Amino acid sequence: MVTMKDIAAKACVSISTVSLVINHRDKGRVKPDIAATIWKVAEELGYHPNAMARSLRSGRTHTIAFISDQVATTPYAGEIIHGAEDAARQLGYMMFIIDADDERDISGDIDRMLSWGVDGYIYAKFANRYISVPPTLDDMQVVVVNAEERTVIHPRIEPDEFSIGYDATTRLIHAGCRRIAYIGCDEPAIAQVGRFKGYRQALKDAGIPFDKRLTSRVSHGRPALEAVCKLLDDTHPDGVFAFNDARAVYVYDYAFQHGLTIGEDLSVIGVDNHEVICDTTVPALTSVELPHYEMGFWGACKIISMIEGTDPIEQERVTPSYNAASMPPLDTDGPARIHCAIVEKESIVGGPRTHDDSEPAQTAGSDANPSSSASADGSRRPQRR
Amino acid sequence: MVTMKDIAAKACVSISTVSLVINHRDKGRVKPDIAATIWKVAEELGYHPNAMARSLRSGRTHTIAFISDQVATTPYAGEIIHGAEDAARQLGYMMFIIDADDERDISGDIDRMLSWGVDGYIYAKFANRYISVPPTLDDMQVVVVNAEERTVIHPRIEPDEFSIGYDATTRLIHAGCRRIAYIGCDEPAIAQVGRFKGYRQALKDAGIPFDKRLTSRVSHGRPALEAVCKLLDDTHPDGVFAFNDARAVYVYDYAFQHGLTIGEDLSVIGVDNHEVICDTTVPALTSVELPHYEMGFWGACKIISMIEGTDPIEQERVTPSYNAASMPPLDTDGPARIHCAIVEKESIVGGPRTHDDSEPAQTAGSDANPSSSASADGSRRPQRR
DNA sequence: GTGAAAGCGCTAACAA
DNA sequence: TTGTTAGCGCTTTCAC
């Protein structure tokens, strides 16, 4: 390992001089030609400053820990991690990853983090859920992403579930739908409650009466398919808002079986903009995209702002890879809620709306910031394969 | 921050004594009651050893870096990360995560890793692809996961693509299929080549002539659906082996349109055991599962074995969360290839095979280790929601 | 402008 | 059985 000592020896100066130069503190203190020599020697020797030694002195490690359950099991995990890593990297931080399976005791991992002197923690879930942050972290800097604490302690960000339901339903109404079904999730999730409220509010605002028979809560597999078919057979809706894309698929199955064409005879909108489903549905499913990348990005910016006491977004020290507009400010009172854009495909009658004629619904009772719509031609995500 | 100094002061001993005790090197060197006092004081004060200081001395950080493209964009990312994290954690290592977007220059990140003195590197892709490890890492410890280098330098693990094709096709043959279609991928990927070879070999071994008209290479969306429908219309196969689950979906669409029932009139098998597709297909799609978790796990074990010069698996210092049987040994000559199990669902005529009557095909020309089949009732993955 | 020296928290060789 | 001491690589104060 090359050290400052080696450089000092080769450049015939003292270690402190090397330190000054390497840390760019040599302005008017070290002769420029000496500084140049030092840089040259450092380069030649392939010098890399020893982060460990540095941290030992400074007490700051420039690392954060990303703790999450279900790193493994959800397809969206990567986007949150990616967003957080992206922001962390741009701000000079490295990110540890810790899988916190619900069943597993993570106190050992937390001890290890404490040993490392990690500067801050991101605690994330991959579905908007209730969690409790381990009390060991009580006097650490913690940000909660895509989840809610029963007793709120830490700053957090979550999707604006209400406006997902509101916007999706409104989109169908604008396409001319009047009998709009809701295919829900059979579990009482935060997401379910919010989206359903948004659905009802949108109907109300449009003067369309709510009809319970148009709603159903399903899980997966054959029972779900049968429930959806029954709903469609019984009530013949002209639009369907599905809790998520997976549940929207059953509407496609029904349509294939009955010779209907989605996007012509029947409009459908889902949630998740799930890559594989959007890839494989014909016509492609229009869907509301949950901004996982953005939530991760926000989380990392937030935790780093707490560590450093400055706002990296305001200071423009950091740029998200996409969709910067939808990033809520870091210093919101209460939870940050992030707006979710509709990704237009082909499953709604009348075809994709262009950006121009869409005015995202202003969500009553929601503190969403001004929304940004994704482009009409689909996801803003990088394409796979 | 609580230090050994603090403990020493409170326990009225010297720092070295504390060090000896904390590091369990006090056997017959420190009086047991003194040791006990030290532990008590450490506990009271909430002492955590300072990993930084430790590493500074030892030159070892007990950290590894997981470098990968597409952390973001694939649903399987999480499983590889999860597997690697699982092994690393059990072996006392922490894992940094680095997103290496293809376009992005990661030399800065690597510099940071070098500064950190990360002990080893896992270089992973999420589809079995060709890669080149940055030359900066040439004299570091590196393991390649789910990818292949053009000029092989580092140990690596990848799925046994040949036997995926062979096993899937053989499974259909055992179910009585004789006209087996192959719906391939339109790109020349490593996976594509191997799976197709396996398909042909299985046909050959069963004495079934290869018929080019039964094969098609498709991408996604409407053109793919149309190509698949044409293939099925023209050739009326009794079984379909699809390159992946996403491509198998088009067969379902065709079946719905034509009043056919998958698993009765037509058998289908995919690859990926993609959660959302397996959740939503009716009847559920039988699929070959790529052991992402296991590859990540193997990768971490391998890199740590290289760092430490011992084999943690042989020493039983580590236990995978599932499917331990399929883990190849760490010290294979050449690349480790990992066998992929069929996850039985309902899309093959005759219903799921039980474990008993399935003898996984011994793959000619492949050095796969003895395979382990997943249980007949589906994935071994933890369930989402 | 430059260098000597102390010290971050810990380990390990050596002394007592 | 316990304590003293040097030093890991770096930063920072202070003297020259």
Instruction: Give A342-354 pLDDT, tens digit per residue.
Output: 999 999 999 887 6
Q: Write down the pLDDT at residue B354.
A: 66
d(CA A374, CA B6): 56
What number of other Cβ atoms are within 10 A of residue A233's Cβ?
A: 10
Average pLDDT of every residue of chain A:
88
- Give the whole-angstrom CA distance, residue A206 versus residue A200: 10
A-B CB pairs within 8 A amount to 189
CB atoms within 10 A of CB B37: 17
Q: How many CB atoms are located within 10 Å of the residue A115 CB?
A: 18
Per residue of chain B (385 residues), give pLDDT as tens: 899 999 999 999 999 999 999 999 888 888 999 999 999 999 999 999 999 999 999 889 999 999 997 765 666 778 899 999 999 999 999 999 998 877 788 888 999 999 999 999 999 987 778 888 998 898 899 999 999 999 989 999 999 999 999 999 999 999 999 999 999 999 878 899 999 999 999 999 999 999 999 999 999 999 999 999 999 999 999 999 999 999 999 999 999 999 999 999 999 999 999 888 988 899 999 999 999 999 999 999 999 999 999 999 999 999 998 777 789 999 988 899 999 999 999 999 998 876 544 444 444 333 333 333 333 334 444 432 2
State the pLDDT confidence band at A85, using cuts at 50, 70 and 90. Answer: very high
DSSP string for residues in A360-384: PPP-TT--PPPP-PPPTTS--SPPP
Rounded distance, CA B118 to CA B61, Å?
6
Distant-in-sequence, close-in-space partners of B177: CB < 8 Å, separation ≥ 6: B237, B238, B239, B267, B349
Q: Which two tokens stand for residue A59?
A: 């007490």
Enter the tokens of residue B113. 């890793």
Q: How long is the CA B28 to C1' C15 vector, in angstroms?
A: 18
Which residues lie closer than 8 Å to A218 by C-beta, 6 or more apart? A183, A184, A185, A186, A224, A227, A228, A247, A250
Q: B79 to chain A: which residues are within 8 Å by CB?
A: 72
Q: Cα–Cα distance between B375 and B379 in angstroms, integer?
A: 7
> Is A276 close to B280, i.e. CB distance below 8 A?
no
- Mean per-residue pLDDT for A105-131? 90
Q: Whole-angstrom Cα distance, residue B149 to residue B159?
A: 15
Classified as helix, coil or strand, B39 is helix
Query: For testing the chain B interface, which of A22, A280, A294 should be mutated: the one with the most B CBs within 10 Å?
Result: A280
Q: Is the CB of B19 under 7 A from strand C?
A: yes
Cα separation, B115 vs B106, whole angstroms = 14
DSSP string across A311-343: -TTTTT----SS-GGGPPPTT-SS-EEE---EE
Of B53, B253, B284, Cβ closest to residue A282: B253
Q: Residue B336: which of B164, B194, B155, B190 has the closest Cα?
A: B155
Which residue is the nearest neighbor of D13, CA to C1'? A16
Q: Rounded CA gap, B225 and B182, in Å? A: 14
Q: Rounded to a whole number, what is the distance in Å from the CA of A295 to chain B's nearest CA?
A: 13
Rounded CA-CA distance A110/B48 in Å is 11
Looking only at the bridges linking them, the beta strands covering A180-185 and A239-242 are parallel
DSSP 8-state symbol, B136: G
CA distance A211 to B201: 57
Amino acid in the structure at residue A109? D
Q: Are strands B142-149 and B180-185 parallel, antiparallel or unpaired?
A: unpaired
Residue B315's CB is within 10 A of a number of other CB atoms, namely 10
Q: What is the pLDDT of residues A190-234, one digit of tens each?
A: 899 999 999 999 999 999 999 999 999 999 999 999 999 999 999
Nearest nt (C1') from B8 Cα: D3
Q: Write the burial class of residue A43 (CB in 10 Å: 0-12 exposed, 13-18 middle, 19+ buried).
A: exposed
Please name which of A77, A69, A145 lies closest in space to residue B75, comparing C-alpha atoms: A77
Q: Are A330 and A313 in contact (CB under 8 A)?
A: yes
Instruction: Report the C-alpha gap between B61 and A121 in whole angstroms.
Output: 20
- Cβ contact (<8 Å) for A246 and B114? no
Residue A100 has what pLDDT? Answer: 87
> Residue-wise over A347-381: b if at least 16 C-beta within 10 A, else e?
bbbebbbeeeebebbebeebebbebbbbebebbbb
Q: What is the pLDDT of residues A323-346, one digit of tens each?
A: 777 899 999 888 999 999 999 999
Question: Which protein residues, judged by their CB atom, are less than 7 Å from any atom of strand D?
Answer: A 1, 3-5, 15-16, 19-20, 22-23, 25, 49-50, 53-54, 56-58; B 12-17, 20, 28-31, 34, 53, 56-57, 59
Rounded CA-CA distance A106/A103 in Å is: 9
Token duo for residue A356? 């121009």
Q: What whole-number percentage of chain B has pLDDT above 90? A: 71
A95 interface with B at CB cutoff 8 Å: yes
Do the chains contact at B66 and A97, CB–CB below 8 Å? yes
Query: Quick check: B275 and A50 CB within 8 A?
Result: no
Nearest CB to A52; choose among B48, B52, B276: B52
Question: Does residue A19 register a pLDDT over 50?
Answer: yes
**Rounded Cα gap, residues B86 and A100, in angstroms:** 10
User: Which residues, including other chains, have CB under 8 Å from residue B349's CB and lie 6 or more apart?
Assistant: B175, B176, B177, B238, B263, B264, B266, B267
Q: How far apart are CA B293 and CA A72, in angstroms?
A: 8
Q: Which nucleotide is nearest to B14 (CA to C1')?
A: D3
* Whole-angstrom distance, CA of residue A239 vs CA of residue B184: 35
Cβ within 8 Å of A, B 273-292: 274-277, 279-280, 282-284
Residues 6+ apart with CB under 8 A from A230: none
**What per-residue confidence (pLDDT) applies to B376?**
35
- Residues in chain A closer than 8 A to B96 (CB atoms): 94-97
**How close does chain A come to B303, measured CA to CA in Å?**
17
Chain B residues near residue A279 by CB distance under 8 angstroms: 220-221, 246
Q: Do B55 and A59 touch (CB under 8 A)?
A: no
3-class secondary structure, B13? coil
pTM above 0.85, yes or no: yes
Among candidates B78, B250, B257 on the partner chain, residue whose Cβ is nearest the Cβ of A78: B78
**Of the partner residues A51, A112, A252, the one whose CB lies closest to the CB of residue B94:** A112
Which pLDDT score, from 0 to 100, does residue B352 have?
Answer: 85
DSSP-derived 3-state class of residue A53: helix
Distance in Å from the first CA to the final CA of chain B: 40
Query: Is B29 within 7 A of strand C by CB distance?
Result: no
Give the residue from A278, A381, A298 showing the smallest Cα distance to A339. A298
Give phi and psi for A176, each to the nearest 5.
Answer: 100, 0
Q: Which positions in chain B touch A274 (Cβ < 8 Å)?
A: 276
Q: What part of B 245-274 touches A (C-beta under 8 Å)? A: 245-246, 249-250, 252-253, 256-257, 259, 274
In this prediction, residue B72 carries a pLDDT of 59
Closest-CA distance, B145 to chain A, in angstroms, reads 17
Cβ of A3 under 8 Å from any chain B Cβ? Answer: no
**Model confidence at A42, in pLDDT bands (50, 70, 90)?**
very high
Q: In whole numbers, what is the pLDDT of chain B averaged over residues? A: 88
Here the tokens at position B172 are 């259909």
Q: Do A246 and B95 touch (CB under 8 A)?
A: no
How far is C-alpha A71 from the chain's CA centre?
13
Residues A217, A219, A221, CA angle at the centre, nearest 5°? 130
Contact B78 A79 (CB under 8 A): no
Q: Closest nt to A20 (CA→C1')?
A: D11
Q: What is residue A72's predicted lDDT score, i.e. its pLDDT?
A: 59
Question: Left, alpha or beta for B334 (phi > 0: left; psi -120 to 50: alpha)?
Answer: left
Count CB atoms within 10 A of the CB of residue B19: 16
Residue from the list A59, A85, A274 with its beta carbon closest to the beta carbon of B97: A85
Instruction: Tell me whether B365 touches chain A (CB under 8 Å).
Output: no
b/e code A251-278 from CB counts within 10 Å (16+ = b): bbbbbbeeeeebbeebbbbbbbbbbbbb
A309 CB-to-strand C distance under 7 Å: no
**Residue B1, pLDDT score:** 86
